[in-house]
A and B are shown apart, each in its own frame.
Chain A
Amino acid sequence: MAATLPPARFPHHHLLGIESLTPPEINLLLDLADDFVEHGRRTDKKLGHLRGLTQINLFFESSTRTRTSFELAGKRLGADVVNMSVSNSAIKKGETLIDTALTLNAMRPDVLVVRHPDSGAVALLARHVNCAVINGGDGSHEHPTQALLDALTIRRRRGRIEGLLVVICGDILHSRVARSNILLMTAMGARVRLVAPKTLLPATLASYGAELCQDMEQGLDGADIVMMLRLQTERMQGSFVPSVREYFHLYGLTYEKLARAKPDALIMHPGPMNRGVEIDGRVADDIHRSAILDQVELGVAVRMACLDILTRSLRSAP
């Protein structure tokens, strides 16, 4: 298996999506992140990998956990971290984004972590800066570090990803987490099944090699991993789904529905979760089943690994 032989180096200048990564590169990042998990549990969490380097977290969309996670990751590696939150209203599109990129680039940062509400915006920005760019989530396109932290969580809990049945449930249509995970899980040899109402499940996703299912109980049948996605309440009032109560009735993760999954199926959620919308609070809090808080912890380690690997060429590190 090629995945057992990590490449000597990571050939990418940016981390814009899972799509451009090979399984050995994914494993390299996960192995590296694994080491950082232990560092994060020490009293002295500080490492010096990024000493002297500047990291800017540029968020065009509100975020708590991802921004904090990237900030902690940078600080634990010794970087100088600056957070820039740009309100949506202040930003138009196209040229203004490029102007922002050029302006920031002139300040000579070493890493830019960018989140943007528009798909493809992070890649656009990356073409106009010299530093490494990490996609912190772009529109409904990709959220690569989330998929990596999900993979690490699965690997640590299950010892492998290959051969597992990963069921992703919820608002697939709008989810960048879903897209990155479909790419990553299928690349690593897992079976992926997507469960959502037809209005939130683009049929064309079958071309990624994922199975599609509209019935939650059927969809959960035999699942090793159950990934729940947030149903965005701002979209609830549209005509995608009729109401929160109907959505929960059909797609909310309850113990009843979960009975169809494997007895040791792991429950994951990228957060923030809406209890009583996509997940029953009791299931979310079940320490034997839920890996939701693990995901958050491992997120910092995964982001440290990404920051480390993308800055190695700057530091002339191996």
Chain B
Amino acid sequence: MSERAAIIGARLLDPASGLDTTGGVLVEQGKIADCGPRLFADGPPADALVLDARGRCLTAGLVDMRVLFGEPGAEHKETFESGTLAAAAGGVTSLACLPNTQPCIDDPAMVEFIARRARQARRVKVYPYGALTKGCDGRQLAELALLREAGAVGFTDGDRAIADSLVMRRAMAYASMLGCRLIQHPEDPALARGGVMNDGAIAARLGLAGIPAEAEVIMVERDLRLAEATGALYHAAHVSTAAAVAALRQAKARGLPVSCDTAPHYFALNELEVEGYRTFAKVSPPLRSELDRQAIVEGLADGTIDAIASDHRPQDQDSKRLPFAQAEFGVVGVETLLAISLELVHRGHLTLLQLLDRLSRKPAELLGLPAGQLRPGAAADLVLFDPDQPGRIRPEDLHSLSRNTAFEGRPCQGRVLWTMVDGRIIYDAGRQRPI
């Protein structure tokens, strides 16, 4: 690719500035040199490679703040090579990966390892989270300052909650000193113990052990109190219940610097998916009731829920083709993030700019990442997508090593056409083979 590229005839979308107009983007040396409606009025520069967007949507690449890859420890489920390709195919240009690997990312040297492995894949930008506690076991603080200096963008124990209130309080106090966000898996482990799906009538009928919605809100409310006492930048991950959304809405109204995200399966699916003991609908937290699902949509619409993250958690067939109770939790999602999220726009819950705000600008802001904005000077991390193109989600189309999608066969509207990172096209839907 030449040094300069001119993207012409695009519908430019930038949630940060509210821009939604037809125009062009000039990419120079990996950065956005210029963008806007009147750019290329006299035609694109002669030496530039011209990419005709044909009126499709061009926006800053998505920022997925919750992804788990299999490296290190579960390379058969996902590697940085496969995972970053899947991300690129999903229009994601920056992602934050969870530290609950084997071994977990609780040492500065491990942060460097993740950064190196991600660099070698040469696709999307990978930002590691550091473990909040050593071994992600919720007892002893990890070396947060050293992890931060090594490049950790936030601290979390991944899919394990910090159950001990004293540990949480100290973790919050310590992390707040570093100005770094602390991401909690909000689930009371005692209430969730042994549970495999949402507690309620369906669980009762299926004979499956339930995880009550209270398990989430109890943890969120405790954490909000501790966050208020310590001044911590607290973030509740993959919020799934109406009660938790309400608690977070109140906390934000009080001015606390707290935030939260949800995943597409929590606003697109409900507990009925578990019918037939479908293990691909087994996620943590579990798919909730229809009322909860609607509350998640409302939370996204009114901004209580800051971000949509894929909560990508690859599982191989052997981990899912099991009796429901024995199957692993988790679904892949980085690749279907945009297509499923666009349902919110097609159904009129969010505007396209609002959706892109939750998918790129806001998560970038929460983690302090240089991403999520379409403006001159920013890295040319872009995605071109057609928001209307119909299709169907097919596991065989996914680039992940694992194909455990909860959306198999689901009709969808919206397709990523190409993805660019630092001015380089890293995914092109028109090509047969991966770049």
Binding site for B on A (CB under 8 A): 197-199, 214, 237-243, 245-246, 249-250
| Residues in chain B near residue A246, CB distance under 8 A | 143-146
Selected contact of B167 from candidates A239, A243, A249, CB within 8 Å: A239
| Residues in chain B near residue A197, CB distance under 8 A | 173-174, 177
Asked if B375 is at the interface (CB within 8 A of a chain A CB), the reply is no
Question: Is the Cβ of A241 less than 8 Å from the Cβ of B141?
Answer: yes
Question: Is the Cβ of B174 less than 8 Å from the Cβ of A249?
Answer: no
Selected contact of A242 from candidates B141, B166, B230, CB within 8 Å: B141
Asked if B139 is at the interface (CB within 8 A of a chain A CB), the reply is yes
B132-187 contacts to A, CB under 8 A, are 133-134, 139-146, 166-167, 170-171, 173-174, 176-177
Question: Is the Cβ of B170 less than 8 Å from the Cβ of A199?
Answer: yes
B244 to chain A, nearest CB (A): 25
Selected contact of A249 from candidates B146, B166, B171, B176, CB within 8 Å: B146
B135 to chain A, nearest CB (A): 12
B99 to chain A, nearest CB (A): 14
Question: Is the Cβ of A245 less than 8 Å from the Cβ of B143?
Answer: yes
Q: In the complex, A246→B175 CA distance in Å?
A: 13
Closest 8 pairs between A and B when the two form their complex, measured CB to CB: A198-B173, A242-B141, A246-B143, A242-B143, A239-B170, A199-B170, A239-B141, A214-B177
Q: In the complex, A214→B171 CA distance in Å?
A: 15
**Are A239 and B177 also in contact (CB < 8 A) when A198-B230, A199-B170, A246-B145 are?**
no
Given A237-B140, A242-B144, A246-B145: 4 more A-B contacts, CB < 8 Å: A198-B173, A198-B177, A214-B177, A249-B145
CB nearest neighbor in B for A243: B143
| Residues in chain A near residue B134, CB distance under 8 A | 242
Query: Can you spell out 14 A-B residue pairs with CB atoms less than 8 angstroms apart?
Result: A197-B173, A198-B173, A198-B230, A199-B170, A199-B173, A238-B140, A239-B140, A240-B141, A240-B170, A242-B134, A242-B142, A242-B143, A242-B174, A249-B145
Selected contact of B176 from candidates A198, A239, A243, CB within 8 Å: A198
Most buried by A among B142, B171, B173: B173
| Residues in chain B near residue A245, CB distance under 8 A | 143, 146
Q: In the complex, A241→B170 CA distance in Å?
A: 9
| Residues in chain B near residue A198, CB distance under 8 A | 173-174, 176-177, 230
B133 to chain A, nearest CB (A): 8
Q: In the complex, A198→B170 CA distance in Å?
A: 8
Selected contact of B140 from candidates A242, A249, A250, CB within 8 Å: A242
Q: In the complex, A250→B177 CA distance in Å?
A: 11
Most buried by A among B133, B145, B166: B145
Question: Is the Cβ of B145 less than 8 Å from the Cβ of A250?
Answer: yes
**Are A239 and B145 also in contact (CB < 8 A) when A197-B177, A199-B173, A214-B177 are?**
no
**Using an 8 Å CB-CB cutoff, how does the interface string of B313-357 with A read, 1 for contact, 0 for none?**
000000000000000000000000000000000000000000000
A238 to chain B, nearest CB (A): 7
Q: In the complex, A242→B171 CA distance in Å?
A: 10
Q: In the complex, A239→B146 CA distance in Å?
A: 16
| Residues in chain A near residue B166, CB distance under 8 A | 239
A254 to chain B, nearest CB (A): 15
| Residues in chain A near residue B144, CB distance under 8 A | 242, 246
Q: In the complex, A250→B147 CA distance in Å?
A: 13
| Residues in chain B near residue A242, CB distance under 8 A | 134, 140-146, 174
Q: In the complex, A226→B146 CA distance in Å?
A: 25
Q: In the complex, A240→B230 CA distance in Å?
A: 14
Q: In the complex, A199→B139 CA distance in Å?
A: 15
B222-254 contacts to A, CB under 8 A, are 230
A232 to chain B, nearest CB (A): 16
B326 to chain A, nearest CB (A): 34
CB nearest neighbor in B for A250: B145
| Residues in chain B near residue A250, CB distance under 8 A | 145
| Residues in chain A near residue B142, CB distance under 8 A | 242
| Residues in chain A near residue B143, CB distance under 8 A | 242-243, 245-246
A216 to chain B, nearest CB (A): 11
A239 to chain B, nearest CB (A): 5
A108 to chain B, nearest CB (A): 47
Q: In the complex, A242→B141 CA distance in Å?
A: 5
Most buried by B among A237, A239, A243, A249: A239
| Residues in chain B near residue A238, CB distance under 8 A | 140
A141 to chain B, nearest CB (A): 22
**Are A199 and B174 also in contact (CB < 8 A) when A239-B139, A239-B140 are?**
yes
Q: In the complex, A240→B140 CA distance in Å?
A: 9
| Residues in chain A near residue B171, CB distance under 8 A | 239
Q: In the complex, A222→B26 CA distance in Å?
A: 50
Q: In the complex, A249→B171 CA distance in Å?
A: 18
Q: In the complex, A199→B176 CA distance in Å?
A: 10
Q: In the complex, A237→B170 CA distance in Å?
A: 13
| Residues in chain B near residue A240, CB distance under 8 A | 141, 170
Q: In the complex, A198→B134 CA distance in Å?
A: 19
| Residues in chain B near residue A214, CB distance under 8 A | 177
| Residues in chain A near residue B177, CB distance under 8 A | 197-198, 214
| Residues in chain B near residue A199, CB distance under 8 A | 170, 173-174
